[in-house]
Amino acid sequence: MIQNLISMMFYILFIIYAMFGTYSLALNKEARLNQVFTCLCCCFSIWGFTFALVNSAVTYEEALIWRRISVLGWGVAYSIMLHFFIILTESKWSQKEKQPILLLTLYGPSALIIFFFGLCGTTANEQIILLKTVTGWITVSSNNGLEKLFYLYYLSFSLISLIMLIQWYRNSTEQNKKNQARYLLLAFCSSVFLGSFTDAIANNYLQTKLPSLAPVIIMISVATIYYIIKKYGLMLAPQNTNENAEGIILNTNGRTRLFRYVGMILVMGSGINFFILLIRPNERFFAAILCFSLVAIGAFVTLIPYLIQSIKNQERLMTVLIVIIISVVMLFFADAPFSNIIWPGPIFFIILTTVFNNRKMFYITAILTILMGIFLWIKFPYYSTPIGISIYSLRLLLYIIGICLTAAIRKVYRERLEANAKLEAFQKLISELSTDFVTISVFDFDAKVEDLITRSGKFLNADRASIGMYANEWQVKYTHEWISEGAEGVKNIHSSIPHSSNIQLLENKIVKISGVQPLFMIPRIKNIQIRKQGVYAQICIPIPGKNGVIGFIRFDRITRRKNWQIDDHEMLRLLANILADAIAKVETEKEISYLAYYDPLTGLPNRVLFYRYLEQAIELAKQRKNLLGVIFIDIDGFKEVNDTIGHDWGDYLINEIGRRLLGCIQKDNIVARFGGDEFLIMSPDVTGKGEMDKIAEQIMGVFDLPVMVNEQQFFITASGGVAIFPEDGETVNGLIKNADLAMYAAKNKGKGQYLFCSSEMKEMVMKKANLAQNLYQAIEKDELILYYQPQVEIISQEIIGFEALVRWNHPELGIVSPGIFIPIAEQTGLINSIGEWVMMTACAQNKAWQDQGFKPVQMAVNLSLEQFRSENVENIVKKCLHKTGLEPQYLELEITEGIAMKESQYVIECLHNLKKMGVAISIDDFGTEFSSLSRLKVLPVDRLKIDMQFIRGIGINTRDESIIAVMIHLAKRLGLKVIAEGVETGAQKNFLKNENCDEIQGYYYYKPMSSEAIEAEIFNA
């Protein structure tokens, strides 16, 4: 009797260790610590299982076989135990690169122990000496070298483990880790001491022989690890956030629970089989294998939902296991004494298949059950067995198992029906709230949000519901709250949720913390923190925003008596989404209102709001007959600064300038950002121009100090224009227009200064405006004319080309210089139509001269930057050549050096395309800009035209002469022709000739002439 009780105790330990290993792997199957602990529990399970069989063995040979197999447990356990502590204490030996050495060092000794005590029959039989006692078979010490080798292995590895735990305790800075180290140290010391006493000291030095109790004593350490898992979150389990799959009876938690129930039934069947093995010792080996297999299968079934994510694959695997279990059990126990009570077993599995809602599983199980019944009927047509106490006991146990299984299935269906009813009520709540929130606005936002948390809090059986918004990543501000009777508010408590929960919320994960910690759930460390706040259970649902989580909805339960009204907490995201949409809508309304009147970058009033302020100030000034000043400020060269430091830092600079301007004005003044790099300042109630001058001087002083941008100093200048009411305008638009006019006058005068608007400025603007209006009609009225200036080859003195120069014959002003009307044309966009007219007319004239029999020469036409920006130059050139019939080689396009050197890649591609057409290209005004030799070498240029400002220095300034010489030499080296413009004297001509200049253009030979004059004075001379 004592022998069977001790054997049963070992077998129960075998089951417990197997369940511990399953539990740790279910917590986190990816973590090395969990994997190693699972292997350790497997060793303990083998240890307990084999000792149960050894202790209950009928013969010496049977006991010896199982004792040798047991070395797979106790022979490896100490290596895995040390491995576990190495990973737990984060020792440097746990690093990945040291794993080969670590594994060899750890498991080399255990491999020797397995060989000598298990695999090698000679040494194992000599080493293992068994003695039969009332308590079962016990091991007697052989007191030889191999035994001492094992003690050395066992004690050294245990001592190293103790040292590592002590170091972990000393080196840990966190109190939680210190507590874990303390508990493990005490438990491991107790296990080593008691195990050494019972298995080594007592059997060697005491007359009373004790059975090997090491598997029992090791439970101290394993139970301590389980306690640490529950209290401190060791080997933490990730929360399962899988949602219900459509059309499936079980949700994720229910499915996990059902697999656990099936695993437990298999384990219970294993225990029953072992009990039968003890009272009926026939065919013990096969019965032992079946016992072990049932526990292994039970553990595997429990792990299925954790190891396999696919529900279909879970059900397929479960079907295979059901087929194996039914087949093995029915065939193995077909002629056993208690075979008359195992026939209902398949019925339990058939009932089980209904819960999975899998038709194939049901059909396979049902067909297999019928086939097994027919097979047993044929094999044993007549079978009788005596019925005694043991059979009746097994029948009752089987009934209990069936009742428990039926109760579990009934519970699953009841929970599902309740869940459906709750789901329907929840969907109705969501529908009503969604309808209500469609019309939400800034004015009723708070009332509707209070209604949402009140109704949802009551529905969920919560005691308190609140909304927390993140001020930053770790600070929470509670904005709305509903409290049931007897609950305490949480407003303005910024640390009211655990730190780890905050991290999960910011990752857009739902946080669920319960006061009850069932198997395989999260550790209760969070529970301890919320219980300190008087909260029993808590759910926090993140509220999503555009750039991440912006807050959360929190539901608290204060008492244990209540349960959450809804199990699938993922559905609560619908509440968060409704609230998120409402917040986004209200924020958008606020943003639209803000953007309508304020600049989003600087926060200053924008143009619209400034206009309103200025309009009110003008009306007040009219009533009081006061003066009013408006200052228009524009930052000088901001585009270059922006290109240098980037747009982000450019925005920072604008913001800094706005802040400085706001800080230097008086309280009743208004600063606004007009747009881009422009600011407007209004100064009401000024006494006169003198006071306005002081205000403008003070404001311009803002730009005296450098601006620190990305740890660099930038000295910024600005130009300003001042307009005074009523002298410079009596309307908003009039004042701003004249201030802008004065600002541009300051820029033209040299920048970095301010000017007051004057009558001369206004007259100039009016004159330009009139010219612009007249220029629109100049082409239609045929007021534009072309003059042609010959280009002469310097050696032969022959005309080799003409440059077309446009003039405007104004009916009132006479001939208007291109220097006046071309800039106006560029500003108004008329340059494109004027440029096309010039090219068409020049090409037509050149073709006409060729048709008259004159020598074909090139016609040079200037192209402006605006024409290139229109991205239509190629089409215009093709059109002009096609309409006039001029060959492309007789057209030369002149571009300025600025266009060639500074503009985009498009300009370069366009020039290459024009060159492919056969058109010649020259660079005009060469030397007046910052030339880039790297850009010059890739441009398809035929000629360089030296600007006249260098030509005028010939004979006067040796530097100009040196520059000209260098330009000519550079052009020659690049294979380019050189033409000099503005040549007016013989000295200039002779110098250019001596420097090998190819061509000249200027008054020395010819001035610009009309086509008629050229025909009369040159062609027909």
For the chain, percent of residues with pLDDT exceeding 90: 19
- Over the stretch 552-599, which tens digit does the pLDDT of each residue have? 999 888 776 666 766 667 788 899 999 999 998 988 888 887 888 888
Domain 598-757 fold is Alpha-Beta Plaits (3.30.70)
Higher pLDDT, 808 or 766: 808
Pairing mode, if any, of strands 977-981 and 999-1001? parallel
Residue in 35, 45, 40 with CA at minimum distance from that of residue 188? 40
Please give the pLDDT value at position 240.
47
The span from the CA of 798 to the CA of 790, in Å, is 10
Higher pLDDT, 9 or 871: 9
DSSP 244: P
The span from the CA of 758 to the CA of 723, in Å, is 9
Contact in structure between 50 and 84 (CB atoms under 8 Å): no
- CATH homologous superfamily for 1-238? Rhodopsin 7-helix transmembrane proteins (1.20.1070.10)
Domain 773-1018 fold is TIM Barrel (3.20.20)
CA distance readout (Å), 596 to 442, 599, 604, 677, 963: 16, 8, 12, 19, 57
Helices and strands in the chain: count of H runs, count of E runs = 38, 23
Helix (H, G, I), strand (E, B) or coil at 130: strand
Please give the pLDDT value at position 241.
44
- Over the stretch 521-546, which tens digit does the pLDDT of each residue have? 334 444 445 455 567 788 899 999 88
* Per-domain boundaries in the chain: 1-238, 248-439, 444-486+496-593, 598-757, 773-1018
Model-level pTM greater than 0.95? no
Please give the pLDDT value at position 452.
93
Please give the pLDDT value at position 931.
56
DSSP 92: G
Residue in 745, 746, 762 with CA at minimum distance from that of residue 754? 746
- Over the stretch 944-954, which tens digit does the pLDDT of each residue have? 998 888 899 88
Helix (H, G, I), strand (E, B) or coil at 885: coil
- Over the stretch 425-470, which tens digit does the pLDDT of each residue have? 888 998 999 999 888 888 889 999 999 999 998 888 888 899 988 8
Helix (H, G, I), strand (E, B) or coil at 91: coil
| Residue 775 pLDDT greater than 60, yes or no | yes
Helix (H, G, I), strand (E, B) or coil at 817: coil
Question: Going by C-beta distance under 8 Å and a sequence separation of 6 or more, which residues neighbour residue 21?
Answer: 37, 38, 39, 40, 41, 42, 45, 299
| Residue 99 pLDDT greater than 80, yes or no | no
Please state which of the ranges 252-261, 318-327, 337-346 shows the lowest mean pLDDT: 337-346
Please state which of the ranges 8-12, 384-388, 835-839, 867-871 shows the lowest mean pLDDT: 384-388
Residue in 194, 179, 272, 262 with CA at minimum distance from that of residue 228? 179
Residue 490: pLDDT band (50, 70, 90) is very low
Backbone angles phi, psi at 982, to 5 degrees: 80, 25
Please give the pLDDT value at position 997.
94
Please give the pLDDT value at position 709.
80
For the chain, percent of residues with pLDDT exceeding 70: 87
Strands (E), 399-474: 464-470
Higher pLDDT, 487 or 380: 380
Contact in structure between 160 and 91 (CB atoms under 8 Å): no
Q: Is 54 exposed, middle or buried (0-12, 13-18, 19+ CB in 10 A)?
A: buried
CA distance readout (Å), 380 to 162, 334, 723, 797, 873: 61, 9, 117, 131, 103
Contact in structure between 627 and 725 (CB atoms under 8 Å): yes
Residue 38 CB coordination number (10 Å): 23
DSSP 255: H
| Residue 1004 pLDDT greater than 60, yes or no | yes
For residues 677-698, one letter each, b for 16 or more C-beta atoms within 10 angstroms of the residue's C-beta and e for the rest, the string is bbbbbbbbbbeeeeebeebbee
Backbone angles phi, psi at 542, to 5 degrees: -70, 140
Higher pLDDT, 647 or 1008: 1008
Strands (E), 715-782: 718-725, 754-756
Please give the pLDDT value at position 247.
44
Three-state SS sequence of 159-223: HHHHHHHHHHHHHCCCHHHHHHHHHHHHHHHHHHHHHHHHHHHHHHHCCCCCCCCHHHHCHHHHH
pLDDT average, residue stretch 497-512: 80
Please give the pLDDT value at position 194.
86
Instruction: State which amino acid sits at residue 60.
Output: Y
Please give the pLDDT value at position 495.
45
Contact in structure between 328 and 290 (CB atoms under 8 Å): yes
| Residue in the structure block whose two tokens are 């197999």 | 69
| Residue 860 pLDDT greater than 90, yes or no | yes
pLDDT average, residue stretch 712-726: 88
For residues 798-827, one letter each, b for 16 or more C-beta atoms within 10 angstroms of the residue's C-beta and e for the rest, the string is ebbbbbbbbbbebeeeeebeeeebbebbbe
CATH of domain 444-486+496-593: 3.30.450.40
Contact in structure between 599 and 606 (CB atoms under 8 Å): yes
- Over the stretch 257-277, which tens digit does the pLDDT of each residue have? 778 888 888 888 788 778 777
